[in-house]
Amino acid sequence: MLWLPAVRRRLGSTRLLVRELGAYGAVGAACFVLDLGVFQLLYTSGTGAVTAKLVSSVVAGTAAYAGHRFWSFAHRERSGYGREYVVFMVVNGLALLLGLSLVALVRHPLGQEGTLVLQATNVASIALGTVIRWSAYRRWVFRAPVADRA
């Protein structure tokens, strides 16, 4: 029965990870819809594809910070809203640069102007950015409590 505490700790960690992933997914889904909607609204009203992607990403990113800080990662150590927000925005900025690069590549050198093609590229950039952001948020933005890091 000496193994029981280890099993309980592992189950607790797994439950917490599942809860964290669920909340991350819910916030991400809401911000994904927000990103797509803002991008579509701007692009179809005459804004350039790259500018539309920039604005939609900033709007969705700001909403995502609030959702993740106060729900997805609310149980994690707080290292100051200023530090977290700056690191969060740097991580999102790098993911945004990736997304902008993909949209710009498809739009300009490849000459694609169709809304469907550009939106598909936008979705692909969001999916790739999601994986990158998940890892970075857990490691650098919303750090684990000191006891968990030891």
pTM for the structure as a whole:
0.68
99-132 pLDDT, tens digit each: 889 999 999 999 898 999 999 999 999 888 888 9
How many separate domains does the chain show? 1
Dist CA 52 CA 37 (whole Å): 10
Mean pLDDT of the chain: 87
pLDDT for 3 equals: 60
Residues contacting residue 117 through CB under 8 Å, at least 6 positions apart: 106
Long-range contacts, stretch 110-118, CB < 8 angstroms, 24+ apart? 115/40, 115/43, 115/44, 118/43, 118/49
- Residues 6-50 have pLDDT tens digits of 556 666 678 888 898 899 999 999 998 999 999 999 999 999 999
pLDDT of residue 12: 67
Range of the domain at 103: 4-149
Distance, in Å, from the CA atom of 75 to the CA atom of 47, rounded to the nearest integer, reads: 40
Express each pLDDT in 74-87 by its tens digit.
988 888 888 998 99
What does the pLDDT average to over 48-56? 93
